[in-house]
Structure 1
Amino acid sequence: MRTSTNVPLEPLLTYAVASAAPVKTVSSLTGEALVELPQSTERDVADAYANATRAQRSWAAVSVRERAEVVLRFHDLLLARQSEIIDLIQVESGKSRWHAFQEVAGTSMNARYYGLRGPRLLAPTRRYGLLPVLTHVLELRAPIGVVGTISPWNYPFELGLSDVLPALIAGNGVVHKPDNQGALSVLWGVRLLRECGVPDDLYQVVLGDGPGIGGAVVDRAGHISFTGSSEVGRLVAEKAGRRLIGSSLELGGKNPLLVLDDADPAKAASGAVRDCFTAAGQLCGSSERVYVHDRVYDAFTREFLDRIRRMRLGVGLEYGPDMGSLVSQRQLDTVTDHLEDAVAKGAHVLVGGRHRPDIGPYYFEPTVLSGVTEDMKCFDEETFGPVIQLHRCETVDEQVERANASRYGLNACVWTGDTARGREVAERLEAGTVNVNEIFGVSYGSVDAPMGGMKDSGVGRRHGIEGLLRFTEAQTVATQRGIPLEPPLGLSQETLARGYTTALRVFRAVHRR
């Protein structure tokens, strides 16, 4: 199976603002050298913001409809040339081709949604005025200026570009710092956007690790969007707070999956396999904790383990494998440490549990543990790998209580034979998105609805109206005609107060429901 891409890598590096010594990146599929990636200095970050600021002034003068048309052209060209970016996503992240395609699908859906809806969402909106007819009020949406974006390695293309696209439609410039392990995918996206009409200097990419230049990216942004760990997210939010700028943060997750007592064990097991092992579990929306009602526990466990044993394992740039590799040695070390810690403290491996260098240097088998207890690292720390804990519960109330007993609240899944009951349970879960009888993709792919986390899983939302308006400043313009608000000549303040009191009561009566 093919493991190296035919996409020329060196030309992509010219789209970065980077003048420092390069670092070597490796293919997650083979462990072999991929490219020497130039790194950015704080001076490079400053230059990137200066270039984006100059370009943004002209871009903001372009109509929203024209800006949206650029993004819609990007949508079309992305689908036409998807094989190129899928190759890059795979060699950088290690995921299977099917899971890499999902990044293309998600990004194109975002482009379509904002390309079609953006002009209407950003149009001037009439609001109720103080005095009917006499007070004319408009809500306007102005671009912030230059948005800073910091994106992770696990979904390098989608989690980077899906925040960039609405920022551009809103009239902003962008300075983007991807993770080094996902930089090539982002640089390919920059090239494609320029081919579609985005001005050369408007969208800038800087390269480097977070401690090196992440602070500089936050320090000059008009708004910062960050996807990453909860620990780093706190630092980003603190920096943004000091500068009084907005921030949207999608952070960690330790997501629960609930199999209720009336669920079909086979259907729930099939969904759980897809949910838990997409991108080898390196997905903030994947489930790592599975709570199964006692009534269906045995049947579900048999189905779940059987399906896992039948998964097609492998790496390569063709469709076929059900699960790809971990991204790096560092991630392999984390997964191995969590597993060994759990087993040493009494957990049982029901399936999997092995590093598989015969498949790929960072490949780890899909793994299920039982007997996980609170003293184990994997209990509430984000493993971010294909290691799942299985728990038996006596009641639905217990399932909900244990699902909510986490500092995280990003995503959850509920499997049931009664969708109305499933929605009732979903409303009790402390998670920003909940999926009933499907996995994370059904909520994430519903791009008209907001996506984000509760508790330590983040602040703000991507997707939907909120995902666009976060990149704008709201301005209210109120125009008064006819009667001024001050007392007319010869009318006392007391008489005017009585008049206003009567008017307020009339308005309340008119709008009574």
Structure 2
Amino acid sequence: MTSATASVGPTTTGPGLPPSLTPPFLQRLATRVSAAPNAARVTTTAPYTGAPLADLPVSTPDDVEAAFARARTAQRAWAATPMAERKRVLLRYHDLVLARRDQALDLMQAENGKTRRDAFLEVVDIGVVSRYYARNAAKHLGPKRRRGAIPLLTHTTELRHPKGVVTVISPWNYPLSMAASDTIAALMAGNAVVQKPDTQTALTALWAMDLMYEAGLPEDVWQMVIGSGASLGGALMDNADYMMFTGSTATGRRIASDAGERLIGASLELGGKNPMIVLDDADIGKAADGAVAACFPSAGQLCVSVERVYVAESVRDEFVAAFVARTKKLEIGAAYDYSVDVGSLTTLSQLKTVTAHVDDAVAKGATVLAGGRARPDLGPLFYEPTILTGVTPDMIVYDHETFGPVVSVYTYRDVDEAVSLANATSYGLNGSVWSRDGARGRAVAARVRAGTVNVNDAFAAAWGSVDAPMGGMGDSGLGRRHGADGILKYTEPQTVAHQRVRGFYPPSGISPETWATLLTGALRILKAIGGR
């Protein structure tokens, strides 16, 4: 692939950066960007400090076109590569990601501002997803016998072919998980990938791609372009055989519309305003711990995090007291170790959104039970984990996604009301239900309109169940990742039907009318004997 040589950060390790992130290392990652040698550059900053982090080459639409041309050539050979070899590449990738864990954690923290424990979950995610698709892709993609048109006489097989070249547009909030997990499935299905990560966290995405090449992926099968959606979006859409997008609902709608015009498929994981329901029989201590785990990972910058908690009236005071006490004990700060609980927001834009939502709620009468303020003493983008009560429909935070460490607590009278309130949103990504009675919890969960619902867990149980589909309903998106759905979407199904003897047309010597009568009788017999 063609690339520019970028000057990365200051000449020595930047303020607050771990020693592993040396300028030569970051510069080597930058050379993986598909861009012209004389490309313009963009500078990213470290959320913990606001200091410059990296200067990256910026791709143009022509660079995107060139990347797709290389990818199409490489994809044909990759699609012809035996499944066993693709499996070996993914299993080597699994081992490399785990072996270079600390390097990945340093990069994610430097670019995103999350805590080390939150970053570590991304490493776990990629390890699990790599192993899953390496060892299950053949089952999902292999030829499958299907019921033929005429029993015993029609041999029907379903085949799966790769789409071709997939565009993956990944966000900044989970820079390793979202950069690599969708790509892993697309690659294992025999596709090539041209990816545009968010520029703020492009180094992590480049690291993920670089490691896949080290694992044995042929050159040009996975390529990375850097730039704004406004600049590159058209070229990415015009050349794609399939679109995989994770981001805002507004952008997802435009991508869905454009994909429809081109008659290509699209999978979209979009926004959420995810509910948590605490039933009257819940273990309150565990539910309070679960609420902390549901609301504040990655400073709330997580599509599946909880922003609305509905508590049974009879346990409301006990739960709120426990939740507030635990939230106030959280350690906030910047540290490249496991010593803090909540890290920084990632961008100034996100800090402004969080601040605006909380300030608007307070101005209109909401009560702050914990947090409620920025912490510039810790760094430019820190905001305290915040719990609100008294939130009403006229407040922005009531039904708009905040995407920050802010949660509103409400009370309900009975389960029907709890479910109704949980479903009173256009979103439907994730939900959480807490009860000592597992069967009761699952029954309530099944009534929540969301793609994934966890019982006695925040979101990790469903997310980590990679053999099951994960995705959103309503304004939270289209399509699914994980499981069979997560890899089959990157393929074109083909039916090959071999008719061994004469089919639905009459043989010589039998009139069409007689043949129709015979076939009608055969259909009745098949129904009578339970034929499918």
TM bin (shorter chain):
over 0.9
Report what 1:4 is aligned to: 18
Q: Distance in 1 between matches of 2:360 and 2:304?
A: 24
Q: 2:45 aligns with which of 6, 22, 26?
A: 26
**Could you tell which deviates more after superposition, 477-486 or 360-369?**
477-486
Range 167-176 or range 59-68, more displaced: 59-68
In the TM superposition, residue 313 of structure 1 has moved relative to its aligned partner by 1.4
Q: How does 1:289-300 map to 2 (within 5 A)?
A: 289-300=308-319
Q: Of 367, 388, 392, which aligns to 1:369?
A: 388
Aligned counterpart, 1:169: 188
Instruction: Give, in whole Å, the separation in 1 of the partners of 2:260 and 2:19.
Output: 42
* Equivalent of residue 492 in structure 2, options 473, 493, 501: 473
The 3-state SS of whatever aligns with 1:483 is coil
Whole-angstrom distance in 2 between the partners of 1:90 and 1:457: 27
d(CA) in 1 for partners of 2:503, 2:370: 76
Residue type matched to 1:502 in 2?
G
Give the distance between the partners of 1:435 and 1:219, measured in 2 at CA. Answer: 38
3-state SS, counterpart of residue 31 of structure 1: coil
Amino acid at match of 1:306: A
Give the CA deviation at 1:482.
2.2
Q: Deviations over 1:454-476 (max 9, x none)?
A: 01000000000000000000000
What is the CA-CA distance between 1:162 and the residue it aligns to?
0.5
The reply on whether 1:156 has 2:181 as its aligned counterpart is no
Is this contact kept in 1: 2:143–2:160, CA < 8 A? yes
State the 1:2 CA deviation.
Answer: 5.7
The answer for unaligned runs of 5 or more in structure 1 is none
Which residue is equivalent to 2:416? 397
1:127 partner amino acid: R
Matched, 1:423 2:423: no
Q: Quick check: 250-259 or 209-218, which moved more? A: 209-218
Q: Does structure 2 conserve the Cα–Cα contact (< 8 Å) formed by 1:5 and 1:88?
A: no
| SS state at 1:508 partner | helix
What amino acid maps onto 1:359 in structure 2?
L
Q: For residues 438 and 20 of structure 2, what CA distance do their matches in structure 1 show?
A: 47
Cα deviation, 1:389-410, whole Å, max 9, x if unaligned, reads 0111111111111111111100
Aligned to 1:410: 429
Tell me how far apart the structure 2 counterparts of residues 297 and 95 of structure 1 sit (CA, whole Å): 31
Matched, 1:15 2:29: no
Task: Please list the CA deviations of residues 149-175 of structure 1 after superposition, one character each: whole Å capped at 9, or x if unmatched.
Answer: 000000011011100001001100100
CA contact (8 A) 2:150 2:503 kept: no
Q: How does 1:208-227 map to 2 (within 5 A)?
A: 208-227=227-246
| Structure-1 residue corresponding to 2:12 | none
* 1:205-354 map, 5 Å: 205-354=224-373
The amino acid across from 2:486 in the alignment is G
Residue by residue, what CA displacement relative to the aligned partner does 1:191-250 show, whole Å, maximum 9, x if unpaired? 100011111111010001111112221111000000000000000001100000000000
Identical columns (%)? 53
Q: Does 1:38 align with 2:57?
A: yes
What is the CA–CA distance in structure 1 between the aligned matches of 2:125 and 2:330, rounded to whole Å?
Answer: 24
**Which moved further from structure 2: 12-21 or 171-180?**
12-21
CA–CA distance in 2 between the matches of 1:369 and 1:387?
Answer: 8
Secondary structure of the corresponding residue to residue 224 of structure 1: strand
Runs of 5+ consecutive residues of structure 2 not aligned to the other structure: 1-14
Say if 2:344 and 2:382, in contact at 8 Å, map to a contact too: yes
Instruction: Give, in whole Å, the separation in 1 of the partners of 2:330 and 2:344.
Output: 13
- Contact (CA 8 Å) 1:149, 1:226: kept in 2 or not? yes
Following TM superposition, by how much is the alpha carbon of 1:5 offset from its aligned partner in structure 2, in angstroms? 4.7
- Cα deviation for residue 371 of structure 1 reads 0.7
| CA distance in 1 between partners of 2:66 and 2:531 (Å) | 57
CA distance in 2, matches of 1:117, 1:484: 36
2:203 to 165, 178, 184: 184
* Among 166, 183, 186, the residue aligned to 1:147: 166
Match among 107, 124, 145 for residue 88 of structure 1: 107
* Counterparts of 1:344 and 1:2, CA distance in 2: 36
Distance 1:97 1:213 in 2: 32
Instruction: Report if aligned partners of 1:2, 1:318 keep a CA contact under 8 Å in 2.
Output: no
Contact 1:250 1:458 survives alignment (8 Å):
yes
Distance 2:132 2:288 in 1: 32
Query: Per-residue CA shift, 1:174-198, capped at 9, x if unaligned?
Result: 0000000111001001110001111
Asked whether the equivalents of residues 3 and 315 of structure 1 are also in contact (C-alpha less than 8 Å), the reply is: no
TM-score scaled by length of structure 2: 0.95
Aligned equivalents of 1:31, 1:5: Cα separation in 2: 18
Change (3 A) 1:299 1:3: farther
1:443 maps to a residue whose letter is: A
1:436 equivalent in structure 2: 455
Native 8 Å contact 1:147 1:167 kept in 2: yes
Separation of aligned partners in 1, 2:163 and 2:474: 27
Task: Check conservation: 2:292, 2:323, Cα contact below 8 A.
Answer: yes
1:67 counterpart = 2:81: no
Q: AA paired with 1:6?
A: S
- Rounded to whole Å, the distance in 2 between the matches of 1:58 and 1:25 is 36
Aligned to 1:461: 480
Report the TM-score when normalising by structure 1.
Answer: 0.98
Cross-structure match for 1:203? 222
Q: Which SS does the other structure have where 2:234 is aligned?
A: helix
Shift of 1:512: 6.2
User: 1:484 Cα deviation (Å)?
Assistant: 3.8
Q: Distance in 2 between matches of 1:283 and 1:104?
A: 16
**Per the alignment, in what secondary structure is the counterpart of residue 69 of structure 2?**
helix
User: Which moves more between the two structures, 410-419 or 497-506?
Assistant: 497-506
The one-letter code matched in structure 2 to 1:506 is I
Deviation at 1:68, TM superposition (A): 1.7
**Distance in 1 (alpha carbons) for counterparts of 2:224 and 2:460:** 28
On the 8 A contact 1:404/1:429 being kept in 2, the answer is yes
Counterpart of 2:446 in 1: which secondary structure? Answer: helix
Counterpart of 2:7 in structure 1 is none
Query: 1:37, CA displacement in angstroms?
Result: 1.3
Q: RMSD of the TM alignment (CA)?
A: 1.2
Indicate if the aligned counterparts of 2:470 and 2:480 stay in contact, CA closer than 8 A.
yes
Residue type of the partner of 1:258?
I
Counting only pairs closer than 5 Å after superposition, residues 494-513 of structure 1 correspond to structure 2 as 494-511=513-530
State the Cα deviation string for residues 371-424 of structure 1 (Å, max 9, x = none).
111111111111000011011111111111111111110000000111111111
CA contact (8 A) 2:16 2:49 kept: no
Q: Deviations over 1:115-138 (max 9, x none)?
A: 000012111111111112211111
* Alignment partner, residue 123 of structure 1: 142
Distance 1:86 1:186 in 2: 12
**d(CA) in 2 for partners of 1:442, 1:304:** 21
The question of whether the paired residues in 1 share the 8 Å contact of 2:179 and 2:208 is answered with no
